[in-house]
Amino acid sequence: MIVNPALEQYIADLLPARDPVLAEMEAYAFANRINIIGPGCATILAQLVLMTGARRIFELGSAIGYSTIWLARAAGPEAEIHYSDGDRENAERARGYFERAGVADRITIHTGDALAALAATAGEFDMIFNDVDKEGYPDVHAVAPDRVRVGGVFVTDNTLWKARVLDPQDAETEGVDTFNRRIFADARFLTSLIPLRDGMTLGIKIGRSA
């Protein structure tokens, strides 16, 4: 645990109850060991969308679409949300959740490599949320920052990676650590790392020159 477990539970207890669709997704993810960002981090995503007025959002690595629903609801009915995941079963399950949550009309589903899907989608985005396989994080930094508009937000999950970033010993941890060091050194962004759950790195784009 990154945060004292008692404090994690305190934060969790403060959060409002989720609607039946999100609650079902949380239970399914827990039972099937599927990683989702959880309601605390999802609330931060929704806050960022509301604060920045983000309407065009690309999500890299979306699993069963839990965070996608939070993004889509916060961005509103005129939003353009892009879901991407390499697992077709995840994508089909996510599609059903989107329909039940009433946000399917604003979500485009991409199945396959997330960065290939991003490359195939033209234009800049108000927000990019990165949650791909951890060894791929440096590849995300190589391409995603150019696709965020100035004033937009680049968010990455799991950036403390179970505290293993303190002593990287495997490809996943090295990927996360390399990403963190690169995004904090990237002059295009003003970046912070929130030690909630497994760590979430937030960067607001302040310029176009690296």
> What mean pLDDT, rounded, does the chain reach?
95
119 belongs to a structural domain: yes
111-141 burial by CB neighbour count: b if 16+ within 10 A, else e?
Answer: bebbbebbeebeeebbbbbbbbebebbbebb
pLDDT score at 4: 84
- Tell me the whole-structure pTM to 2 decimals: 0.94
pLDDT, tens digit (0-9, with 9 covering 90-100), for 47-68: 999 999 999 999 999 999 999 9
The answer, yes or no, to whether residue 86 has pLDDT greater than 80, is: yes
CA distance 199 to 166: 13
102 belongs to a structural domain: yes
129 belongs to a structural domain: yes
pLDDT, tens digit (0-9, with 9 covering 90-100), for 138-183: 999 999 999 999 999 999 999 999 999 999 999 999 999 999 999 9
Single out the residue of 158, 162, 172 nearest to residue 200, CA to CA: 158
Counting the structural domains of the chain, the total is 1
CATH number at residue 58: 3.40.50.150
210 belongs to a structural domain: no
C-alpha separations of 38 from 26, 66, 130, 144 in Å: 7, 8, 15, 23
β-strand pairing of 148-157 with 200-205: antiparallel
Q: Which range of residues forms the domain containing residue 121? A: 5-205
21 belongs to a structural domain: yes
48 belongs to a structural domain: yes
pLDDT score at 47: 97
Which conformational region is residue 163 in: left (phi greater than 0), alpha (psi within -120 to 50 degrees), or beta?
Answer: left
